[in-house]
Amino acid sequence: MKHIVNLYENINDTARNNSDCPLVVLPEEIFFTISIIGVLENLMILLAVIKNKNLQSPMYFFICSLAISDMLGSLYKILENILIMFRNTGYLKPRSNFETTADDIIDSLFILSLLGSIFSLSVIAVDRYITIFHALQYHSIVTMHRAIVVLIVIWTCCLGSGIAMVIFSHHIPTVITFTSLFPLMLVFILCLYVHMFLLARSHARKISTLSRGNMKGAITLTILLGVFIFCWAPFVLHVLLMTFCPNNPYCVCYMSLFQVNGMLIMCNAVIDPFIYAFRNPELREAFKKMIFCNSYQY
């Protein structure tokens, strides 16, 4: 999205000159390498769930949704680098209709990545809540059919919103909508957590008898959420500053770190699979089978 993603081009040159902070430029090879690793790692998660029937449950489908979101974020940067390479080598005319269309499609992947992550983390939080406090009714509440319907609705909304945000990216209301989804998701999950801990306090004995795996799943979600906030919050702040104070030297000083913030987003896709591997024994076993081709069993 030209107004949101290509932020360097929107910073006023005068404001840059008035700022004492130079632009921090990172080699494109770093972004490309991290993105490739992110795609491969999240692809492993999808393959692990597809190949193992014991992993084909609503919880792992929600994890796959988050993995797809991370993979789209990495794929966005790979395709962007390829587009830049073709343009720099002269195979693609600058500002041509093809480049504009390709740029819009690539930018929509970036928006899909953020929206998909937000909704996937939210639905995982709801799943953990039901697992902990409605354990006996969990399988009747969270069925495969309902999980698939929820994911279809989520990704349909994400796709529609992503296209709309790319088309109307130059409008300030679009930017406000884009950035407001981030804190709204945090407030929703925070309210869910507060409710969970209040119930846990009032039903301490009941909670203590629950499966440790359920509580471990809630802790894993907390770690995923913390990593997501750490990796995406600087970029969301960047968008707000670029929109509302693009000429302020202090805002420009922060915006000089744009590539660092972009690298954090790429790192999110790499970190999440490691969290799954360390926190989830079933996924860890599936990864071992895929990597060592069952040789470790012999």
**DSSP-assigned letters across all residues of 175-210:** HHHHHHHHHHHHHHHHHHHHHHHHHHHHTHHHHHTS
> Between vectors from CA 223 to CA 218 and to CA 227, what angle results, nearest 5°?
145
Each domain of the chain, given as residue ranges in start order, spans 1-292
Cβ–Cβ < 8 Å for 142, 127: yes
The closest of 122, 229, 112, 116 to 165, measured between CA atoms, is: 112
Q: What is the DSSP letter of 246?
A: T
Q: Would you tell me which CATH number, out of the four given (1.20.1070.10, 3.30.428.10, 3.40.50.2300, 2.30.30.830), belongs to the domain 1-292? A: 1.20.1070.10
pLDDT tens digit sequence for 162-208: 888 877 777 777 778 777 877 888 888 878 777 776 766 665 555 55
CA distance 85 to 92: 9
DSSP string, 86-142: HHHTTSS-TT-HHHHHHHHHHHHHHHHHHHHHHHHHHHHHHHHHHHHHSTTTHHHHS
SS3 294: coil
The band of 297, judged by pLDDT with boundaries at 50, 70 and 90, is very low
The separation between CA 14 and the C-alpha centre of its own chain, rounded to angstroms, equals 34
Higher pLDDT, 52 or 214: 52
SS3 283: helix
Share above pLDDT 90 across residues of the chain, in percent, rounded to a whole number = 12
- Length, in residues, of the chain: 298
Question: For residue 169, what is the enclosing H or E element?
Answer: none
CA distance 69 to 231: 14
pLDDT of res. 204: 54
SS3 5: coil
* pLDDT surpasses 80 at 141: yes
C-alpha separations of 193 from 148, 196, 216, 253, 265 in Å: 24, 5, 14, 35, 25
The separation between CA 79 and the C-alpha centre of its own chain, rounded to angstroms, equals 17
> Between vectors from CA 30 to CA 29 and to CA 36, what angle results, nearest 5°?
85
| Weakest-pLDDT range from 73-77, 86-90, 212-216, 262-266 | 212-216
C-alpha separations of 130 from 122, 127, 133, 139, 192 in Å: 13, 5, 5, 10, 11
Q: Indicate the residue type of 103.
A: D
